[in-house]
Structure 1
Amino acid sequence: MKALIQRVSQASVQVNQQSVGAIEHGLLVLVGVEKGDNKTCADKLLHKLLHYRVFSDDDGKMNRNVQQVDGGLLLVSQFTLAADTGRGLRPSFSRAAPPDEGERLFHYLVEEANKAWPNVATGEFGANMQVSLINDGPVTFLLEV
């Protein structure tokens, strides 16, 4: 699994001009599910999301995680993260999990995140989503598990 995380001061997702998820400060997480990913991968990713230290402490150093700053998680499915861009000028999605597998694992990740942390919002799997954010920093990292 891959996750592109962005530290945000706010982020939201709309589908058909309706808000489906929003957070104030926290992490916008674009999640890509690849072939061969499983629940163990999702569990490891969730652990990283909740404990990865990308928020500043009192000295301005990245020493705090999303839980320590009482931030939100906005989880958004993003199959294009699984693209193979190594050859040519058009991405290949042969590494991406089939839609039913991707949806199952994404929903599992969301379910587990909701058990572990009270401030979780999501987009809508497979929908055409409009994502708005204010990247704080900017701070962006690619996590792979």
Structure 2
Amino acid sequence: MKLLRNHHCTAMAMMLVLITHTAGAENATENLDPRIRSLLQQEMRAIEGAMQSVLSAIVRGQHDVVEERGQAIHDSFILAQSLSEEDRRTLRAALPGGFVELDKAFHGLAAELSESGTQEDSAAQLDVFQQMTESCLQCHQTYAPDRFKGLSAR
């Protein structure tokens, strides 16, 4: 139980950083069509909201919510529904390769999170949630340092 509390405190501290900043990798997306950039920013906000609900679900033992929200993050809320194939090609061509790799890894972690919900494994949920949060931090530091000035010194 002490391990769960320690993970919870770490996750809460990381989540506070996310809550106080609305995500949007502006540096990485500054050359995108404004419509696609807006969709990407909507996606980031949707992920932020899902991450908040996941944290709440983890600490409440709501494994079904963790499973569902993890799967929703994995499946990409806005972009998967809103982009044409042409938009996808434009987006892939415009984003740095490292950004794309971080994004793929993040969505892979979301699938792991969903599975940990299915397995009703709170410790795994906390571990994966922390990895996802660290991935967000890494991306913001690398690809949006002007937007997230408080993270640049990390």
- Is TM (by shorter chain) over 0.5? no
TM-score bracket, shorter-length normalisation: under 0.3
Query: Which structure has more helix as a fraction of its residues?
Result: 2
Structure 2 length as normaliser, TM-score? 0.27
Q: Which structure shows the bigger proportion of residues in strand conformation?
A: 1
Q: Which has the higher contact order (CA 8 A, sep 6+)?
A: 1
Q: TM-score, normalised by structure 1?
A: 0.28
